Amino acid sequence: MFKNIKSADDLAQEALAAENAQKVSEAKAYLASTDFYFTVDKYATLTEERKAELKYKREDARTLINLLEVEDEQG
């Protein structure tokens, strides 16, 4: 009768998983939206500051994706 009742821990884990999925989605969207900067023509027009900013933000996004997707796989 009460087989579908979730504990507070289960609900917290689901909420965390949903939050992590949203973060991964946002990070992947950022990477997709900045890919075009790395074409040879576009990259050559960027300032050194912008190149560094893109490099580090994209690196952070990839790290976040890898971290959260591994956590999700490990359950």
What pLDDT sits at residue 40? 85
Backbone dihedral angles phi then psi of residue 41, each to the nearest 5 degrees: -65, -45
Neighbours of 27 (CB within 10 A): 20
4-57 per-position pLDDT tens digit: 888 888 888 989 999 999 999 999 999 999 999 999 899 999 999 999 999 999
Higher-pLDDT residue of 14 and 3 is 14
In degrees, rounded to 5, the angle at the alpha carbon of residue 37 between the alpha carbons of residues 53 and 25 is: 75
Q: Where are the domains of the chain?
A: 38-75
- Give pLDDT, residue 75: 59
Q: 3-state SS string over the chain?
A: CCCCCCCHHHHHHHHHHHHHHHHHHHHHHHHHHHHHHHCHHHHHHCCHHHHHHHHHHHHHHHHHHHHHHHHHHHC
